[in-house]
């Protein structure tokens, strides 16, 4: 499956000195980057419940909390809490030669014309 990923260089500097939840713009997408207890995660930025912007959320106990109705998502797997029945998309993040890259699956368009 990894051959379907395209690695996009993160254009802005990533802060490794503190924890946060904020927006990350890469490859024309708005994603959500999280640093929680030193662990970095990249997720989709739109809440699957009613579309809130998760980049305005916060973390508690390894969960990203949506600012609208407080749905909770695991920041490693993206899985929502049990009763929610939803999840957020996770994007792999890697660091090479001091630069960060986010892995985004090729779109159908890219597969056909790429």
DSSP reduced 3-state for 20 = strand
CB of 51 to ligand FES, least distance (A): 6
Q: Which is nearer to ligand FES, 14 or 50 (CB)?
A: 50
Q: How far is CA 6 from CA 14, 35, 91, in A?
A: 19, 22, 11
In angstroms, the first-to-last Cα distance of the chain is 17
| φ/ψ of residue 111, rounded to 5 | -65, -40
68 binds ligand FES (CB under 6 A): yes
In the bound state with ligand FES, the residue whose beta carbon lies nearer, of 66 and 93, is 66
From candidates 49, 56, 79, 89, binder to ligand FES by CB under 6 A: 49
Is residue 69 part of the contact set for ligand FES (CB under 6 A)?
Answer: yes
């Amino acid at each position: 499956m990894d051959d379907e990923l395209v690695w996009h260089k993160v254009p802005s500097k990533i802060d490794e000195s503190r924890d946060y939840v904020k927006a990350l713009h890469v490859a024309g997408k708005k994603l959500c980057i999280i640093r929680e207890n030193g662990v970095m995660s990249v997720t989709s930025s739109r809440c699957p419940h009613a579309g809130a912007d998760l980049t305005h959320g916060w973390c508690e106990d390894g969960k990203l909390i949506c600012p609208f109705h407080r749905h909770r998502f695991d920041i490693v797997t993206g899985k929502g809490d049990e009763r929610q029945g939803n999840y957020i998309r996770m994007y792999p993040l890697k660091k090479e030669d001091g630069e960060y890259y986010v892995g985004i699956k090729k779109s159908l368009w890219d597969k056909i014309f790429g």
